[in-house]
Amino acid sequence: MAAVALPDWLEPQALINGNWVPARDGSCFAVVNPATQQVIAQVAECGAGETAAAIGAASNAQADWARRPAKDQALLLRRWFDLVMAHQEPLAQLLTLEQGKPLAEARGEIAYGASYIEWFAEEAKRIYGDTIPAPGADKRIITLKQPVGVVACITPWNFPNAMLARKIAPALAAGCTVVCKPANETPLSAFALAHLAQQAGIPDGVINVLCGKTEEIGRALTSSTEVRKLTFTGSTRVGKLLAADCAATMKRTTMELGGNAPFIVFADADIDAAVAGAVASKYRNAGQTCICANRILVEDEIYDEFAAKLTHQAEAFVLGHGSDEQVTMGPLIHQGAAAKVADLLSDAVAQGARLKHGCGPSELGSGFVEPGVLIDVTPQMRITQEEIFGPVAPLLRFSSEAEAIDLANATQAGLAAYFYTADAARMVRVAEALEYGIVGINEGIVSNEMAPFGGIKESGNGREGSRYGLDDYLEIKYLCIGGIGSA
């Protein structure tokens, strides 16, 4: 397998006001290939000072950007989309290099991220206000939708391109400017996206990107009175900390946090379709997605058949370096992630769960975990209560619809849930009863730019994508026009 070089146009520095700059004190940190542990770049390690400069740049650029006709904003976003798609291959290679996912998945992520840019390029032209009947004959009521202002975007490592595109595109479409802090594990994909936005002609200061001293940057963003909104994708733990910090300045927040998705298979379901859905939901990105099936609940009568068929599929994965075209599953993001999976497994096995296949460490290296299936899992085990974020499918049993719903809802998470059934009435009943923001019915792949993505309960608030995705970046201003009288 040939080593992939960084594109020569990629600058691993901070983007502030249109300039790629090093950290003020010259410090850098290493970004590592999770498959090989080799250092692939030294990145500017920024802190509070650089963040203040980025906020200043975004603040200065905001009024001009907001004043641009929606058609101009849309055109620039569209050009950005075109450039991203024209660079799909190098962007995918870069993504695999820093994140580890197989190239086919990385290509898919680039197209998925770009689809949000395309969608919001279109939606930029459809930000409508209202006229509202007034209570008196000499009054009129009009509402305007105006940009929130400067938006801070903090994103995780599991989808280094798409999670950022999903935030920047609606922010810009609404007339906002952004300061972005991508995950320190995977900043290169963010820099590449920002570089292409510059090439597209998006003005200086509209998009700023930096990373480095995480808590310092976070504090500078949350405490700033110029930053009017924080949109965060990441863990529930960090989301709660940041939301609390945002309260001091009453910032608006969008919180896309952790999940604990139930995947329910009723005995009347098409079992092969359910297995295919479970594979797609569970093992994508080596199990490191917020909407991954975290608990697979299978009705008693079909439990053994489902377990056997899922195991057969798990055995078919080819674990390895994502940049090898044959590979269908890469490493976890780092050794700590693999250690967490091992810890959850040993807790489950100590309480009576059995490994049907895989789940263990691989000879490929300490970040690799064999995709696997765990049976005889019970709700008391930690593996059903915490996000696994690894390629382990825990199978629980249930014997009635009511029990399945109770098990599914027994968590503080509320992002995605899935169920498979052939019974139309049950589809309605169960979909209504599940306490989740997203429900896949006879479908394991639920995320796309046309649909509202987001959770309830401790999985956060706000929605990304769809026509609702702009609302989070807009304020409603009400104009009350009086003294109109009659001619």
Active-site residue among 123, 256, 387, 464? 256
Cβ-based nearer residue to ligand NAP, 222 or 421: 222
What is the maximal distance between C-alpha atoms in the chain? 86
- Under the rule (CB under 6 A), what is the footprint of ligand NAP? 154-159, 163, 181, 183-185, 214-215, 218, 233-235, 238, 241-242, 256-259, 290, 387, 415, 455
At 148, list the tokens. Answer: 């929130």
CB of 152 to ligand NAP, least distance (A): 9
Question: 3-state DSSP call for residue 416?
Answer: strand
CB of 189 to ligand NAP, least distance (A): 12
Q: Which residues pair with 31 in a beta bridge?
A: 41
Closest CA to 42 of 12, 3, 16: 12
CB of 349 to ligand NAP, least distance (A): 24
CB of 460 to ligand NAP, least distance (A): 6
Distance of CA 476 to the CA centre of its chain: 26
Whole-angstrom Cα distance, residue 207 to residue 168?
8
Cβ-based nearer residue to ligand NAP, 140 or 382: 382
CB of 402 to ligand NAP, least distance (A): 28
Calculate the alpha carbon distances from 22 to 59, 94, 125, 188, 422 in Å: 21, 21, 37, 14, 58
Active-site residue among 290, 401, 449, 464? 290
256 is catalytic: yes
Residues 6+ apart with CB under 8 A from 419: 262, 263, 264, 265, 266, 404, 430, 431, 434, 439, 440, 441, 442
What is the sign, positive or negative, of the torsion defined by CA atoms of 231, 154, 12, 7?
Answer: negative
Cβ-based nearer residue to ligand NAP, 175 or 455: 455
CB of 308 to ligand NAP, least distance (A): 29
What is the sign, positive or negative, of the torsion defined by CA atoms of 306, 311, 316, 319?
Answer: positive
Q: For residue 160, give the amino acid letter.
A: P
Whole-angstrom Cα distance, residue 73 to residue 286?
37
Q: At what angle do helices 48-67 and 214-223 cross, to 10 degrees?
A: 40
Cβ-based nearer residue to ligand NAP, 291 or 327: 291
CB of 437 to ligand NAP, least distance (A): 9
Characterize the bridge pairing of strands 392-398 and 416-420.
unpaired
Cβ-based nearer residue to ligand NAP, 157 or 418: 157
Cβ-based nearer residue to ligand NAP, 98 or 185: 185
- Residue with the CB atom nearest ligand NAP in the bound state: 218
At CA 36, angle to CA 31 and CA 40, rounded to 5? 30
In whole angstroms, how large is the CA radius of gyration of the chain? Answer: 23
Cβ-based nearer residue to ligand NAP, 154 or 395: 154
CB of 355 to ligand NAP, least distance (A): 24
Cβ-based nearer residue to ligand NAP, 27 or 235: 235
Question: 3-state DSSP call for residue 233?
Answer: strand
Question: 3-state DSSP call for residue 44?
Answer: strand
Whole-angstrom Cα distance, residue 80 to residue 99?
23
Q: Which residues are catalytic?
A: 256, 290
